[in-house]
Amino acid sequence: MKNAKDLMRFLLKCAVVGLAAAFVLVWWRPQLIGLGGSAAVVHVHDGRAGETDPPAPSNMSEAVLSFAPAVKRAGPAVVNIHAAKIVEERRNPYYNDPLLQRFFGNRGMSPPRRILERTLGSGVTVSPDGYILTNHHVIEGAEKIQVALHDGKTLPATIVGTDPDSDLAVLKVDATDLPAITLGDADNLAVGDIVLAIGNPYGIGQTVTMGIVSATGRSELNLAVYEDFIQTDAAINVGNSGGALIDSHGELVGINTAVLNRDTGAQGISFAIPVGIAESVFEDLVRYGHVRRGWLGIYSATAATGQDSSVSGVQVAAVEPGGPADKAGIKPGDLITAMEGKPVNDTHALMYWVGTLDPGTKVTLTVMHDGASHDAEVKLSERPPLQTQPAPANSN
């Protein structure tokens, strides 16, 4: 009996030691039993455009994170843009010294030289018949524009129209059956979504960088008059401007435009124009040659509060004579507290909202005048060119 008990104790000890050794082995070398040594991620694949899903990996450690299908779908629609313009070389500042001019006048002072300046950027083909979206600053002042397609062919381009207010432009090349990008929906973007930037940085050739959406609705960056940027940490460098910001399905969600001033030492802060704005500007430029935006005809100051400090809004600094607001009886000093029943607390927000509406649209403004609130119906007119306005930065 005693021998049987000793045998049971011995077997129990062996089992405990064996289980402990197995636990340590599985923890230290999980791949030995097929569990994989790293966290598994799913192959990103949207299953669109007639593609079939890749076979499931036999071992989860073999799963690979890849955006190759998205890049394959969008990449051919991204082009390189080479713009050339003639500029005057800056003269030596000593030429402007009054003392030198007094003694020598203009003798020996040759006129400024005219030199050829080249700029490099990117663009996105949005229709098979050759319409291309890019940034205004990429082709500003250009006298000659060449577009290099994905297949290596280079074509001359003409400017259909530009919109400095949003920093967008539309080009046209004489071609058909071009690969065109699929437009996505930037309104569905959320902070943390993965995005890819495609362009031609520094002229080295098409390059793809990856990041996430860091923020949406960024404004007051002094990059354009109308700002509603997507912020991302995807690397955007010189030559990327005008290129595509795409989602993981390969659909266009933005036009890459700018990075935060590098002099600040900031990294990973880039900005793109949402595709909804780009699409609206594109349609107007193709149809009218310029962008038609709603306009109130006021020049607004900063956000302010009413006399009792309990009401806030946008204070009217000046009113355009004969403009929509003037016709509706709005006066300098009035406080606009709401539009269409929605509170207005920010000058930029009001300007952007009005600019998204078509000329001729009627809007109801809630206005505080001499301490009393009333509603005023305003019929928007078309926003005049910036250069005709005395205060373009705050013109609504």
Give catalytic residues, as residue numbers: 137, 167, 241
Count Cβ atoms within 10 A of the Cβ of residue 239 and give its class: 0-12 exposed, 13-18 middle, 19 or more buried: buried
304: tokens are 């302010």
User: Under 8 Å CB-to-CB from 113, ≥6 apart: which residues?
Assistant: 88, 89
**E strand intervals along the chain:** 78-88, 114-125, 131-134, 144-148, 154-163, 168-173, 194-199, 207-218, 229-232, 244-246, 252-259, 270-274, 294-295, 298-305, 312-319, 335-339, 342-343, 362-369, 372-379, 381-382
181: tokens are 């990008």
Burial 69-95 (b: 16+ CB within 10 A, else e): bbbebbbbbbbbbbbebeeeeeeeeee
| Residue 395 DSSP class | B
Which residue is associated with the tokens 């910036």? 386
| Residue 183 DSSP class | B
Rounded distance, CA 396 to CA 378, Å? Answer: 12
Contact between 148 and 82 (Cβ < 8 Å): yes
Contact between 70 and 249 (Cβ < 8 Å): yes
Residue 115: CB atoms within 10 A of its CB come to 10
CA atoms within 13 A on the CB side of 291: 23
188: tokens are 């569905």
